[in-house]
Structure 1
Amino acid sequence: MASRTAPARRPIGTATRGTTNPNRLRRMDRWIAHTHGPALRRSADPVAVDLGYGAAPWTAVELLARLRTVCPAAEVVGVEIDPARVAAAKPYERDGLSFAHGGFEVPLGGGTGRAPALIRAANVLRQYDEDEVAAVWSRLCARLAPGGLLVEGTCDEIGRRHVWVALGPEGPRTVTFAARLGSLDTPSDLAERLPKALIHRNVPGEPVHAFLRDFDRAWAAAAPYSALSARQRWIRTAASLGTDWPLTDDARRWRQGELTVRWDALAPRG
């Protein structure tokens, strides 16, 4: 009897537009390297996934370079649901960098059962409905190794403005706002880059709306510091905002144009 080959499973998810640019995710990468570098160094298998890297593999190439500054043993697997994008990325494979066809099931290849220490999903959920986000987060978090991290968020086309959520196997932990400070008139300019879980919640009565309102007020009150620099104004703004909101970072990160707040302070109501 002739043997039958089981049909390949269809990857879970939908192809993105594929928009990508070199250096687009530098702010997210810098934060990941600082925040998650120690966990990667402790990991017996420090493999990271660049999920939905797009029409060109630049972000996966750059992620490997940035992670290896804090964890020389780090590996990156770029995962794309569009097989043509995987084929186009294959020539860029090298030691520690590979590409695989897949989606939210996050295949790492080889049938090894490896679990990623990091999954980065940037600009992937933008096209999904808000009520689909929780299931995607749950699926991705379930794939993480113990101590692993999922970072999911959105940025503009050249990476000047970025907001992301960090999640562990237990669920969401923090929300980070990051920007090239010279590009901002007010911090609420970042609202258009809120992740899908929050972007439709920027309305009166929701915590993220109140947070951005207070962020703008603190920014306005810190206006005199702009004579020193936009960075000094941001630092003063963050220090003021931290009196009412549970920020998880300090001036060392604020100097980078970042600000991180606990997820439970911004989580949607209802």
Structure 2
Amino acid sequence: MVRPVGAITRGTTGHNRLRRADRWVAAVHGSALRAAHRPLVVDLGYGASHATTLELFTRLRVVVPGVEVVGVEIDPARVALAKPYERAGLSFRLGGFELPVARPPALVRAFNVLRQYGEAEAWHYWDVLRDRLAPGGLLVEGTCSETGHRAVWVCLDGDGPRTLTFSARFDAFDRPSDLADRLPKTLIHRNVPGEPIHAFLRDFDHAWAVSAPYGVHGLRQRWLAAVGALAGSWPVANRPPLGGPRRWRLGELTLPWSAVAPDAGS
């Protein structure tokens, strides 16, 4: 047996913690999964409970009836606890970044997995996981708060990172830059003056501040106004499936990765 690649995470999880990311995957990439031959989705590092993997399976089955979901965990005890919840199309396996599955996955979800690694290691494991994807496959890697009310994730394909998405409950932050602590490992230490991600969060805070009058109609309206203002100077996705009012109303905002990629000289 191949030794699992990676380190055991804290395992913190909970019901609906990854609902925001699941909802985004189903809405934005459901059509790509439906078009895939025998679509396989891997939930890497699901933690101490099977709950979020089961929820991913349940949500994807609504839009991709034939999808198969495999939860992969590096801790044997966690795999043993999850095994009784297996069913047709849903299974749990011992493993890590090597992805011990029978065929290349159409999508890998890896949440709260890379936070314990250094930035260079995070870039490396992005490459490792991308190399294991099926043609046209996707990696959704991110982090969220313990309740799941604040989350940020990157979507990558075989060529590299493509988009960065912010997602939050409207009452879960005082200003948008509060989401900085959820940035992926490849960006979290780049939130300093001179880096694009710092400039973006600064401008998002400003757009949020000048949109305060819309708050009399609710925080959702303030968010919509702030995103609209921000779109004047940043390439915010503004058309389906990645953007537009339908996604913004959910507390989402997506940018092309190129807009916030780390400065190559830093």
Q: Same fold (TM over 0.5)?
A: yes
Amino acid at match of 1:219: W
Q: Is residue 260 of structure 2 the alignment partner of residue 266 of structure 1?
A: yes
Cross-structure match for 1:123? 112
Query: Identity over aligned residues, as a percent?
Result: 63
Q: Is residue 203 of structure 2 the alignment partner of residue 214 of structure 1?
A: yes
Cross-structure match for 1:4? none
Question: Please, which of 84, 87, 90 is the counterpart of residue 77 of structure 2?
Answer: 84
Amino acid at match of 2:142: G
Shift of 1:76: 0.6
Amino acid at match of 2:92: F
Amino acid at match of 1:14: A
Question: Please, which of 83, 86, 98 is the counterpart of residue 93 of structure 1?
Answer: 86
Q: Is residue 12 of structure 2 the alignment partner of residue 29 of structure 1?
A: no
Cross-structure match for 1:9? 2
Question: Please, which of 40, 44, 58 is the counterpart of residue 51 of structure 2?
Answer: 58
Question: Please, which of 51, 55, 67 is the counterpart of residue 60 of structure 2?
Answer: 67
Q: Distance in 2 between matches of 1:253 and 1:125?
A: 26
Q: Distance in 2 between matches of 1:146 and 1:129?
A: 28
Gaps of 5+ in 1: 1-7
Q: Is residue 174 of structure 2 the alignment partner of residue 185 of structure 1?
A: yes
Cross-structure match for 2:164? 175
Q: Distance in 1 between matches of 2:109 and 2:173?
A: 25
Q: Is residue 125 of structure 2 the alignment partner of residue 136 of structure 1?
A: yes
CA-based RMSD:
0.8
Cross-structure match for 1:5? none
Normalised to the residue count of structure 2, the TM-score between the two structures is 0.96
Q: Distance in 2 between matches of 1:147 and 1:236?
A: 35
Amino acid at match of 1:92: Y
Shift of 1:252: 1.1
Q: Distance in 2 between matches of 1:230 and 1:70?
A: 30
Q: Secondary structure at the match of 1:64?
A: helix
Larger radius of gyration: 1
Q: Secondary structure at the match of 2:43?
A: strand
Q: Distance in 2 between matches of 1:245 and 1:60?
A: 34
Question: Please, which of 155, 158, 176 is the counterpart of residue 144 of structure 2?
Answer: 155
Gaps of 5+ in 2: 238-242
Q: Distance in 1 between matches of 2:52 and 2:107?
A: 14
Amino acid at match of 1:236: A
Poorly superposed stretches of 4+, deviation over 4 Å: none
Cross-structure match for 1:3? none
Q: Secondary structure at the match of 2:15?
A: coil
Q: Is residue 37 of structure 2 the alignment partner of residue 44 of structure 1?
A: yes
Cross-structure match for 2:231? 242
Deviation digits for residues 121-149 of structure 1 (CA, Å, limit 9, x no counterpart):
00000000011111100110111111211
Cross-structure match for 1:145? 134
Normalised to the residue count of structure 1, the TM-score between the two structures is 0.94
Shift of 1:9: 2.1
Amino acid at match of 1:48: V
Shift of 1:120: 0.2
